[in-house]
Amino acid sequence: MDFLLYIISGAFVGLIVGMTGVGGGSLMTPLLIMFGIPYNVAIGTDLLYASITKSSGVIAHTRQNSVQWRLVGYLAAGSIPASIVTVILLNQVFTNADEYKDLLTTSLGVMLIITAIVILFKRFLRDTSDRPHGPVGAFFQVHATKVTFVVGIFLGIFVTLSSVGAGAFCAALLMTLYPRLPALHVIGTDIAHAVPLTLIAGLSHLFLLGNVDLVLLVSLLIGSLPAIHVGTKLAVRIPSRVLQPALALILLGIGVKFTFY
pLDDT at 104 over 90: yes
Please compute the mean of the pLDDT values over residues 22-35 and round it to a whole number: 86
| pTM over 0.85, yes/no | yes
The sign of the CA dihedral 83, 84, 88, 91 is positive
Q: Which residues of 110-147 are buried (b: 16+ CB within 10 A; e: fewer)?
A: bbbbbbbbbbbebeebeeebeeeeeeebeebeeebeeb
Is the distance from CB of 206 to CB of 80 less than 8 angstroms?
no
Where is pLDDT greater, at 157 or 249?
157
Give me the torsion for CA of 140, 62, 220, 245, rounded to 10°.
50
Confidence of residue 243 (pLDDT cuts 50, 70, 90): confident
Give the C-alpha separation, 256 to 108, whole Å.
10
- pLDDT tens for 59-69 read 888 988 999 99
Per-residue model confidence (pLDDT) at position 261 = 76
CA distances in angstroms from 227 to 43, 195, 221, 230, listed in the order given: 21, 19, 10, 5
Binning pLDDT at 50, 70 and 90, where does residue 89 land? very high
Is residue 131 over pLDDT 60? no
Please compute the mean of the pLDDT values over residues 140-145 and round it to a whole number.
74
Q: How far apart are CA 187 and CA 67, in angstroms?
A: 8
With a cut of 80, say whether residue 130 has pLDDT above it.
no
The larger pLDDT score, comparing residue 194 to residue 180, is at 194
Instruction: Identify which has the larger pLDDT, 229 or 38.
Output: 38
- Name the burial class of residue 34, with classes exposed (0-12), middle (13-18) and buried (19+) by CB atoms within 10 angstroms of its CB: exposed
Residue of 58 and 217 predicted with greater confidence? 217
Residue 133 zone, left/alpha/beta (φ > 0; ψ -120 to 50; rest): beta
Residue range 29-35: average pLDDT? 92
The percent of the chain in helix, strand and coil, each rounded to the nearest 5, is: 85, 0, 15
What is the number of domains present in the chain?
1
What is the residue range of 7's domain?
2-260
What is the model's pLDDT at position 128? 63
Tell me what pLDDT residue 167 has. Answer: 82
Q: Report, as an integer, the average pLDDT of 219-248.
A: 82
pLDDT at residue number 23: 67
Q: N- to C-terminal Cα distance for the chain?
A: 31
